[in-house]
Structure formats: C-alpha cells, structure tokens
C-alpha cells in the first residue's frame, strides 16, 4: 500500500538539505565465485571512510527477481511505487529522448518496418538500420508530415529502427491498441480505441491509422524502410509531485534525457549541466551553483551503468574510482543527509540490468552503529539498514533530515 497519503500528511519543509546520489547500475557481481565485484575491486578511499561513518543496506528497486528498467528503477528511488506509477512505453521514449512532451500530448513508439508489395510486414525492424539512416528517414517524414486529422505530428529518432511520434494540439486519448502485429507475413493492424465510446482515444486511433497511410506514401520510394508500426501509445503521465507529497523543493542534476525526463515527471527542476557526456565536473559545478536554492538534489551518474552494459568490468571499476575522487567535493557542500545507491544492478558479467539488490549508504545525523567498512555488496549485506525496497529510501532520507513528523498521536 502506498505511503503517499501518510507522507503528505506528516512531511514538513525544513532548511535541511538532502543529496541523493544515484550511481546508475552500481550493483555488480564477481567475475568468478568468491571474487570481488566491481565495487569491491575499486580503490575507493573516500567512500571507504564515508562507509565507516554511515549506515548501509541493500535495496530491491522493484522486488526480488525483478530487473528494472531506468523508468521504474528511478520512480522507485523517488518513492513512487513502480507497479502503481507505470509510464507507458511511448511516453517513456518521448521522455527518454528529451522531446518536448507536455500534458495532454500522446507519445507513440514507432518501429520502421519493411512491407512487401501486398502490404504485409516482411521485417518488423527494416533490417535494423543505422542511426544515421534513421535520422535521414525521420528528416524525410518531418518534411512531409506535420499535421494529420487535426493533430500536430512530431517525429524523433530514437535509435536503429526505433523512432518516436508525439501527437499534440487535439483532444487525444491513450487507450488505443498497437498497430504492430508482432509478427511478419500479415498486414499492420489498424489502431482501435479500447472503448468505442471514448472519443479522445478514438481520435488518436483515427490519427494513427491516417498517419500509417501517410508514412507509406512519404516512404514509397524507399527500398527497405517503407512502413511504420506503432505501439505503446501513451499520454504523459500525471503523477503527484515531490513538492506535494514530500514538501520538498527538489532539483535534478543529470546529463541524459531519460533521467531528466523522469525527474521532471515527479516535479523536479532540471538544472543545467555544462560538459560532454556524463560531465562529472559539470555536475559538481551545477550543484555548487544552485546549492542555496533547493533542499533536495538528485545527482545522477550514468557511466557505472554503461560500462556494466558493455561488459567491461575494469571500466566500471574505473568509473567507481572516478566517483570516489569527486566525493570530497560533494561532502564539502555539507549536505545534512547524503544517500548513495543505484536504480538497479548492472553486473558487467551480465552486460545488462539485473535483479540483484543494490547497495545503499545513508550518511547523516541519528545513525545507529553499523559494521559495514566499505560501500560494497558484501558489506552492505551486513549493514544495519537491512534489506529494503527502493521506495523505502525517500521516507528514510526525509526522516534523517528532520522532514517527517510523527505519524499518529
């Protein structure tokens, strides 16, 4: 059951500041049984010293056994039950590419496909085109189609065969079936509203059916990419904000569109970060520049996940060590509460997000003694925070920061 009604009642604004560091995909695995994980292999003098003065534990972002995507992983860390607060695939793609995507807009995940002469799907991914090829075809569509059946249509490249359509400027609904038949040898499906009486969703379906035909016309001369399949039709979700539930004035310090998008969904102000890619120094500068203005900072580092996804154990170790070198600058800001964790594990031996619980470190006032000596999976398993769910972290941070009153008399 969600704690939100209770938290909304007992949360209170205070001047104390929380710094919430998310090292994406930080949890790992040993390369061979008994060996060190990436965190254990890293030389981390600053993290080690901090761990000795902190409480540690493990957290399952969604539930044991569940490997979360970035969306549910982060929503859970922000305290939003990821089963209840789901983001549709189209909306998540729209958010993930950093598109302009407002309340009332509908996001659609598109696949470029190859259709045969009879209009049947021959390849659902059009031979997995390059990103450059995708950009070229998206450019062609942008030039040819701006409006369909009264709705504005915007196209965006995602990657390879994947693109995003955002529909706006009309009363649109999201309760619409996919046109992707999920198999070859049959024609693309027609989009249907789940309920014919739902006029807004019926309008979305009509737009998408007309759009399918317009895309085929526009791409008629293309040898491979000559059709599109739509799925995950979804509005920008309306979630309660962190301001409303926690009485926080929260800010996001991240570089990649997906994380900025999820942060903005829960009401965070997205601070500008100057620098290339993960821009660790740019993030520290952004924190320093805006430290006086907010009481909650979400600070995201991506590369611990990317290196894990690449299966590069040593590179992930190196990214941990890079973070360790930044840590003194974060501590110099003197956050009242500092929490370090990840949105999921990405063990380099798996080259993928995994279901393994993620180490969490909580530094601040009112700590119990804790035997953990380092910020590693093994030590966190001995920590006195025990085994938590991702959604437990926000209330814990707020409590240590003095931002929660007693519940009940």
Asked if 408 is part of the footprint of its own copies (rule: CB under 8 A), the reply reads yes
Nearer to its own copies by Cβ, of 84 and 269: the residue is 84
User: Is 222 exposed, middle or buried (CB count within 10 Å of its CB: 0-12, 13-18, 19+)?
Assistant: middle
Number of residues lying near its own copies (CB under 8 A): 68
Instruction: Identify each DSSP E strand in 254-357 by its residue range.
Output: 269-270, 296-301, 337-341
Cβ distance to its own copies smaller for residue 91 or 228: 91
Interface with its own copies, residue 373, by CB under 8 A: no
Quote the CA–CA distance of 394 and 38 in Å, as a whole number. 26
Question: Measured between alpha carbons, how far is 275 from 377 in angstroms, rounded to an integer?
Answer: 31
Residues 313-352 that bind its own copies (CB under 8 A): 347, 349-350, 352
The one-character DSSP state at 392 is: G
CB of 275 to its own copies, least distance (A): 26
Nearer to its own copies, 265 or 394 (CB): 394
Site for its own copies in 34-53 (CB under 8 A): 34, 37, 53
Q: Give buried/exposed letters for 235-257 (b at 16+ CB in 10 A, else e).
A: bbbebbebeebbbbebbbbbbbe
Q: Whole-angstrom Cα distance, residue 82 to residue 62? A: 7
Q: Calculate the alpha carbon distances from 7 to 75, 162, 242, 260 in Å.
A: 16, 39, 10, 24
Residue positions counted in the chain: 409
66 binds its own copies (CB under 8 A): yes
Task: Please say whether the beta carbons of 362 and 339 come within 8 A.
Answer: yes
Which of 81, 178, 180, 235 is close enough to bind its own copies by CB under 8 A?
81
Q: Which is nearer to its own copies, 234 or 255 (CB)?
A: 234
Measured from the CB of residue 83, what is the shortest distance to its own copies in angstroms?
Answer: 5
Q: Does 311 bind its own copies (CB under 8 A)?
A: no
Token pair of 133 as six digits: 């090829």
Alpha carbons 10 and 13: distance in angstroms, whole number: 10
From candidates 43, 84, 144, 274, binder to its own copies by CB under 8 A: 84
Q: Which stretch binds its own copies (CB under 8 A): 79-87, 126-134, 176-184, 192-200?
A: 79-87
Near its own copies by CB under 8 A, which window of 28-36, 180-188, 214-222, 321-329? 28-36
Q: Are 264 and 270 in contact, with CB atoms under 8 Å apart?
A: yes
Q: Does 182 sit near its own copies (CB under 8 A)?
A: no
- Positions touching its own copies (CB under 8 A) are 1, 3, 6, 10, 29-30, 33-34, 37, 53, 58, 62-73, 81-84, 86-87, 89, 92-93, 96, 347, 349-350, 352-357, 366-369, 371, 377-378, 381-382, 384, 386-388, 392, 394-399, 404-409
């Amino acid at each position: 059951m969600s704690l939100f009604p209770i938290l909304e009642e007992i949360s209170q604004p205070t001047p104390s500041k929380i710094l919430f560091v998310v090292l994406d995909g930080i949890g790992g695995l040993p390369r061979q049984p008994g060996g060190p994980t990436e965190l254990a292999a890293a030389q981390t003098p600053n993290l080690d010293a901090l761990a000795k003065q902190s409480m540690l534990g493990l957290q399952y972002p969604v539930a044991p056994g569940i490997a979360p995507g970035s969306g549910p992983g982060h929503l859970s860390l922000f305290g939003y039950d990821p089963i209840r607060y789901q983001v549709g695939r189209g909306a998540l793609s729209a958010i993930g590419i950093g598109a302009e995507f407002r309340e009332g807009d509908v996001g659609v995940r598109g696949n470029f496909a190859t259709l045969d002469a009879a209009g049947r799907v021959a390849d659902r991914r059009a031979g997995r085109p390059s990103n450059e090829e995708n950009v070229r075809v998206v450019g062609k569509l942008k030039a040819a189609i701006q409006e369909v059946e009264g709705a504005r249509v915007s196209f965006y490249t995602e990657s390879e065969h994947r693109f995003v359509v955002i529909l706006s400027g009309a009363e649109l609904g999201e309760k619409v079936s996919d046109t992707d038949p999920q198999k070859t040898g049959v024609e693309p499906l027609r989009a249907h509203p789940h309920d014919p009486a739902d006029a807004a969703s019926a309008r979305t379906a009509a737009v998408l059916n007309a759009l399918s035909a317009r895309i085929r016309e526009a791409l008629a001369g293309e040898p491979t990419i000559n059709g599109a399949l739509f799925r995950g039709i979804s509005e920008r979700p309306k979630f309660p904000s962190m301001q409303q539930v926690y009485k926080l004035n929260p800010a996001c310090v991240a570089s990649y569109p997906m994380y900025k998008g999820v942060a903005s969904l829960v009401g965070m102000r997205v601070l500008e970060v100057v620098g290339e890619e993960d821009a660790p120094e740019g993030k520290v500068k952004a924190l320093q520049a805006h430290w006086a203005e907010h009481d909650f900072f979400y600070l995201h580092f991506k590369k611990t996940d990317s290196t894990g996804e690449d299966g590069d154990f040593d590179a992930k170790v190196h990214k941990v060590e890079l973070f360790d070198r930044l840590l003194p600058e974060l501590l110099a800001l003197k956050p009242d509460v500092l929490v370090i964790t990840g949105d999921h594990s990405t063990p380099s031996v798996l080259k993928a997000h995994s279901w393994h619980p993620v180490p969490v470190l909580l530094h601040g006032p009112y700590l119990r003694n804790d035997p953990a000596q380092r910020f590693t999976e093994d030590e966190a398993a001995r920590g006195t925070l025990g085994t938590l769910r991702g959604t437990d972290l926000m209330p814990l941070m707020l409590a240590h920061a003095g931002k929660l009153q007693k519940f009940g008399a």
